[in-house]
Amino acid sequence: MSERTGIVALAPPEPAGAEASRADAGPAPRPATLTSRAAWALSDVWVVARRTILRLVRRPDELLGTLLIPVMAVVMFGLVFGDAFGAAMGAGGSDYREFLLPGLFALTMAFGIGNTTIGIAADVRGGVVDRMRTLPMSPRALLTGRAVADVAIAVVELGIVMGLGAVLGWEWHGSLGAAVAAVGLLLALRLAFSWIGILLGLLVSGPEAAMKYFALVFPLAMVADTIVPTALMPGWLGAIAQWNPLSATVIAVRDLFGAGGGADVAGTWVGEHALLLAIAWPALIVVVCSLLARRRLARLSR
């Protein structure tokens, strides 16, 4: 505005089509160097992970829903029916709790798949995924950020269930390093189930369908060396349960916590190589499901 005349000076009009040219220019170019691209990708992953974590903080009922089944199982099987199950196994109630709790830790990791599947399905239906893809953001960050958030949330869930187990008398008998390794295996299992949930969330028609598919996880989680030993199952079912990825993690975690892998798997190939399988199964699941999920995401954006 001119001080003498008080007239506002207007910018000259843009040439015709200039605004459209800016709109068609697309997002800002990605950094050229490998280091800057990696830093950008990590920043994108953190943005998506932070969004997921903050949403859970605002809606803690989702976390409570995930913890409900494991917490009830700890109370029912560990406190109410612990002596009966221990007698069936030829052990006392305290010995059964040493057997039970690592299995319930693994179940806590597995049941988190429900929130993952429903969350991804809701984001797809609500257009959140499409809006994020229009931003100058790494496509992989959309899925990887969710998986990272799930693992971070799983740390809290695992701490709650472990604390409840300690109240009931459970404790580890190994070294601190072995306990940390056991927690690492459990979080690796959660990462694997997170990618399964991400893939399912991209495949289903919506959150309602995702809730129905979650019902299929329950029998899969039960047919494992989690709550009862495979030796007490029918022969054919026990053989299937031993090769369940959950069983490998549970057997390895029991051993690392100092409770022993379990007499029912002693001498079997699965029992002898439980630690190897507890690493290999999640790694295989993550690789396969992440590749399939990225392909599915690319198809949805067409």
Please state the rounded mean pLDDT for residues 228-234.
Answer: 82
pLDDT value for 21: 41
Q: Can you tell me the mean pLDDT for 93-104?
A: 80
pLDDT over 60 at 2, yes or no = no
**Mean pLDDT across 180-192:** 97
Query: Residue 106: pLDDT band by 50, 70, 90 thresholds?
Result: very high
* Banded pLDDT at 269 (limits 50, 70, 90): confident
pLDDT > 90? residue 198: yes
Contact 194, 116 (CB under 8 A): yes
Q: What are the phi and psi torsion angles at 85 (to 5°)?
A: -70, -35
pLDDT for the residue 68: 81
pLDDT band at 22; cut points 50, 70, 90: very low
Helix, strand, coil: what percent of the chain each, to 5?
Answer: 75, 0, 25
**Using 50, 70 and 90 to split pLDDT, how confident is the model at 84?**
low
**pLDDT of the residue at 201:** 92
Lowest mean pLDDT among 28-32, 68-72, 178-182: 28-32
Q: Provide φ and ψ at 127, rounded to 5°.
A: 80, 5
**What are the φ/ψ torsions at residue 225 (nearest 5 degrees)?**
-85, 60
Cα(5)–Cα(2) distance, rounded to whole angstroms?
6
- pLDDT tier for residue 16 given thresholds of 50, 70 and 90: very low
- Res 10: pLDDT: 39
Share of the chain above pLDDT 70, in %: 80
Neighbouring C-beta atoms of residue 56, cutoff 10 Å: 20
pLDDT over 70 (residue 89): no
Q: What pLDDT is attached to residue 167?
A: 86
Provide, rounded to the nearest whole percent, the portion of the chain with pLDDT above 90: 29
The answer to whether residue 293 scores a pLDDT higher than 70 is yes
What is the model's pLDDT at position 87? 66
- What predicted TM-score, i.e. pTM, was given to this entire model? 0.82
